[in-house]
Amino acid sequence: MNRGNAYRLVVKFIKNKNLIKHSLAVEAIMRDLAADLKKKNFESGNSNIGKFNEDKWAIAGLVHDIDYEDTADDPLRHSLLGEEMLKEHGFEDDIAYAVKVHNDAHGFPLKSEMDIALFASDPVSGLIVASALINPDKKIKSIDSDFVLNRYKEKSFAKGANRRQMLACEKLGYTLEEFIKIAINAMQKIDKEIGL
């Protein structure tokens, strides 16, 4: 499955513009995480860098909420239906599985680095968007990791952004600050597409 076909499916099944922007944000974060992990593993002499496929990780991020509008009234179906939809449309099994396990409500095991990355990237994108929106100019280029980390510590801020899920970044070898920095930089690259 290539990116063009994946995007066409996203806009076919998702009509909410903000949800499409969220999908684009998670796509960007996943792409940059894969690239960073590939680089780190290469530098450390790990020859198994093929698992950090930027295009595949990005597509997983792009399609992770493909079923969201169909399952909005039944959150326990969210991501289960998404996995089915992706398999029906010919997506690779590892992408479909990463999408299935990104919904924390199910408690499915995170088996791969891609699973962990998607699990953590979904909520961090929401925290970053909420942080940008409280800034006077509402621009993502005006915030940094310190600003977002301070919002992370405020329990009442962006309550829907699951802090525990974000901490899964540690399983990839990142501190929360490093992870947030990568995520902000990724989203800043597509600020016009996500309207920030």
pLDDT tens digits for range 103-136:
999 999 999 999 999 999 999 999 999 999 999 9
Write phi, then psi, for 72 (nearest 5 degrees). Answer: -55, -35
Q: Which parts of 67-175 fold into alpha helices (H)?
A: 68-71, 80-88, 93-101, 113-133, 145-153, 163-166
For 49-79, the pLDDT digits (tens) are: 888 999 999 999 999 999 999 999 998 999 9
Buried b or exposed e, range 15-50, using 16+ CB within 10 angstroms: eeeebbbbbbbbbbbbbbbbbbbbeebeeeeeeeee
* Stretch 34-42: mean pLDDT: 92
**Domain CATH number, residue 180:** 1.10.3210
What is the chain's percent helix, strand, coil content, to nearest 5?
65, 0, 35
Q: How many domains does the structure of the chain reveal? A: 1
| pLDDT score for 1 | 79
Q: Indicate if the pLDDT at residue 84 is higher than 90.
A: yes
| pLDDT score for 183 | 98
| pLDDT score for 78 | 96
For 129-173, the pLDDT digits (tens) are: 999 999 999 999 999 999 999 999 998 999 889 999 999 999 999
| pLDDT score for 118 | 98
Q: Indicate if the pLDDT at residue 35 is higher than 90.
A: yes
| pLDDT score for 44 | 84
Is the residue at 85 inside a domain? yes
Is the residue at 195 inside a domain? no
**Could you give the CA distance from residue 155 to residue 96 in angstroms, rounded to a whole number?**
32
| pLDDT score for 49 | 80
**Could you give the CA distance from residue 119 to residue 159 in angstroms, rounded to a whole number?**
17
Is the residue at 8 inside a domain? yes
SS3 157: coil
Is the residue at 175 inside a domain? yes
pTM for this entry: 0.96
| pLDDT score for 48 | 77
Note down the domain range covering 14: 3-189
Is the residue at 196 inside a domain? no
* Stretch 25-51: mean pLDDT: 90
| pLDDT score for 76 | 93
Closest to 172 measured CA to CA, from 125, 114, 129, 122? 114
Handedness of CA 14, 141, 162, 37 (dihedral sign): positive
